[in-house]
Amino acid sequence: MVTSKVDAIVLAACDKTALVKPVKDAIAAGIPVVTVDSGISTEDPVSYIATDNVKGGEAAADALAKLMGERERPATLSSAKGQVSSDDRQNGFANGMKKHPGIKLLDPLEAGRCRQGKQRP
């Protein structure tokens, strides 16, 4: 994209570290970068547009506790470690479940990871 001299880049990262260098290169070339939904491990993009995924995870924990009661054992399935939105939702959910001590949260499961448009088991 940098060599194509685009006017701007808008991206949603699958991995918070994989695009740091390309983003820095784009910004150094004068191309503004905006991240949406999932951020990256740098403050360089001109804007980051997303929901508050921590609060969303906490709200999901409260809703699940209300639906299933205080004596169950739920597990979570995350899309991929390292993806900011997924990590934030997972952390928010775990924090939210702390308000429900009768519920034992099982270890989270990972569904897969974005890599070159493919999922891996």
* Domain map (residue ranges) of the chain: 9-49, 53-110
The yes-or-no verdict on residue 111 having pLDDT over 90 is no
Q: Can you tell me the distance from the alpha carbon of 13 to that of 33, in angstroms, rounded to the nearest whole number?
A: 12
Show the tokens assigned to 82.
């390292």
Burial label for 8, CB within 10 Å (0-12, 13-18, 19+), is exposed
Of 116 and 111, more confident: 111
Q: Report the pLDDT averaged over residues 53-82.
A: 86
Buried b (16+ CB within 10 A) or exposed e, 51-72: eebbebbbebbeebbeeeeeee
109 φ/ψ angles, rounded to the nearest 5 degrees: -110, 145
| Distance (Å) of CA 28 to CA 23, 38, 76, 79, 86 | 8, 22, 40, 31, 29
User: Given a cut of 80, is residue 117 above it in pLDDT?
Assistant: no
CATH architecture of 53-110: 3-Layer(aba) Sandwich (3.40)
Q: How many CB atoms sit inside 10 A of residue 36's CB?
A: 15
Strands (E), 41-89: 47-49, 77-78
Give all strands (DSSP E) within the chain, no chain letters.
9-11, 33-36, 47-49, 77-78, 109-110
What's the pTM? 0.67
